[in-house]
Amino acid sequence: MKKQIIFIIISIFLFSCGSKDKQARLQELEARRDALDRKIEELRTEIRTTKESGQNGKIAYVNLDTVRTGMFKHYIQVQGTVESDNNISIPPQASGVVKKIYVKEGDKVSRGQLLAELDGAIYESNIAELENSLKLATTIFERRQRLWNKNIGSEIEYLQAKNNKEGLEKKLKTVKEQYKLTKLTAPINGTVDEIRIKEGEAASAGIGAIRIVKLSALKIKAKLSENYVSQVRTGDTVSVYIPTIDLKFKQVINAVAQVIDPQNRTFDVELKIHEVSNLIKPNMLAVLTINDYSNSHAITVPINILQKTGEDIFLFVANNKPDAEGEQWIAERRIVIPGKSQDDRFEIKKGLQAGEQVVVFGYQDLADGQTLKLSSN
């Protein structure tokens, strides 16, 4: 029993010594690591200082440009579709066999012009029968009326003749209206764009048979992101490009929707096309270039001179600091806040003033405080 106790005590002692050795070893390694990190940071600082002093001592050849204020316009491009309010598919109002088509695709038609007709033989027969009956009823009525005016005959006979005549007139009018349903007429002036029926085939009531388009009443509709709802207004001039026919022209926005579509967060703009070209057709693609931002006193710089490090965007400004030898230009690394860009220029919202000189050539390897020399190129 005593031997077991002694063995347990010795094991605990050895384990404790081993743990202490590991802890000491860990502390030693951490100390070495911290010392190594300090040496690495010192070496980095020395390299950076040496590099900057070398650059500052080196003369850089650059080109400068004077910062000016002027008009800056930003544009957005969206795709739209050519549409027509007068793009009408005309259906037969009755079902039947197509008897005759009087137009062909591409024909210009006038409002009320007969385009096609269905077989109306039954209506024609009914009309002829009713017209004959009405003719007889009218003759009888007129005779009864003459006799009645002379107080000859009974009132009942006179009223029956009158009722018979008027009943046939109403029935004839109804059948003639039904007969009109077999006729397809143009509701507007326009051009026949499509014919979907054929002579001799059955046509169904309510299904489009002939399409008419009025090309002089075309418009372009496009959807814009809700971000531009306060920047696009009725009356704004838009550049329009129709790629299919390589046509460019300017048009005015005539309608801006005031409701945002909750499905895609967009709103509609509409431009009417006023006799621009007869080559423009419904459903053609249109590319709209819209001016969404303007600043008449904007400061702009070439896009390529802006550089970025981390979160900062900067460029180099050349400051003229004359010395004993005369004019001397010194580079200044200037952090700026850019706005919108258009083509090859960026608007600068903050960090640059009109009249300052910016480096537009030779800026890639510049350092803050480096001496500059104007290039002869």
Enumerate the CATH 2.40.30.170 domain ranges in the chain, comma separated.
76-85+213-295
CA dist list (Å): 362 to 284, 353, 367: 48, 21, 11
Both tokens assigned to 25: 């070893």
**What's the angle, vertex CA 262, arms to CA 261 and CA 264, rounded to 5?**
75
Contact predicate 348/49, CB 8 Å:
no
DSSP string computed for 161-228: HHHHHHHHHHHHHHHHHHHHTTEEE-SSSEEEEEE---TTSEE-TTS--EEEE-GGGEEEEEEEEGGG
Contact predicate 354/68, CB 8 Å:
yes
Alpha carbons 64 and 115: distance in angstroms, whole number: 73
| pLDDT value at residue 53 | 46
Q: Output the tens digit of pLDDT for each of the chain's 377 residues.
A: 545 555 555 555 445 555 567 788 888 888 888 888 888 877 766 555 544 444 555 788 899 999 999 999 999 999 999 988 778 889 998 888 999 999 998 889 999 999 999 998 888 899 999 999 999 999 999 988 888 888 887 888 889 999 999 999 999 999 999 888 899 999 888 889 889 999 999 988 888 899 988 777 789 999 999 998 888 999 999 999 999 999 999 999 999 998 899 999 999 999 988 767 778 888 899 999 999 899 999 999 999 999 998 889 999 999 988 765 667 899 999 999 999 999 899 999 999 999 999 999 988 889 999 999 887 65
According to CATH, what is the number of the domain 76-85+213-295? 2.40.30.170
Overall fold of domain 92-212: OB fold (Dihydrolipoamide Acetyltransferase, E2P) (2.40.50)
Both tokens assigned to 333: 């690394």
Both tokens assigned to 55: 């650059």
Enumerate the CATH 2.40.420.20 domain ranges in the chain, comma separated.
58-70+296-374
Taking residue 105's Cβ as centre, other Cβ atoms within 10 Å add up to 11
Secondary structure tally for the chain: helices H, strands E:
3, 22
Enumerate long-range contacts of 227-231, CB under 8 Å, 24 or more apart: 228/76, 228/290, 228/292, 229/260, 229/267, 231/292, 231/293
Scan for tokens 């106790």, then name that residue. Answer: 5
Contact predicate 242/284, CB 8 Å:
yes
Contact predicate 371/313, CB 8 Å:
no
Helix or strand run (H / E) with residue 141: helix 121-149
Under 8 Å CB-to-CB from 38, ≥6 apart: which residues? Answer: none
Contact predicate 361/374, CB 8 Å:
no
The CATH class for the domain spanning 58-70+296-374 reads: mainly beta
Scan for tokens 């001799």, then name that residue. Answer: 200
For the chain, how far is it from start to end, CA to CA, in angstroms? 100
Under 8 Å CB-to-CB from 59, ≥6 apart: which residues? Answer: 370, 371, 372, 373
Q: Classify residue 224 as exposed, middle or buried by CB count within 10 Å of its CB (0-12, 13-18, 19+).
A: buried
Alpha carbons 199 and 316: distance in angstroms, whole number: 79
Alpha carbons 109 and 107: distance in angstroms, whole number: 6
Enumerate the CATH 2.40.50.100 domain ranges in the chain, comma separated.
92-212
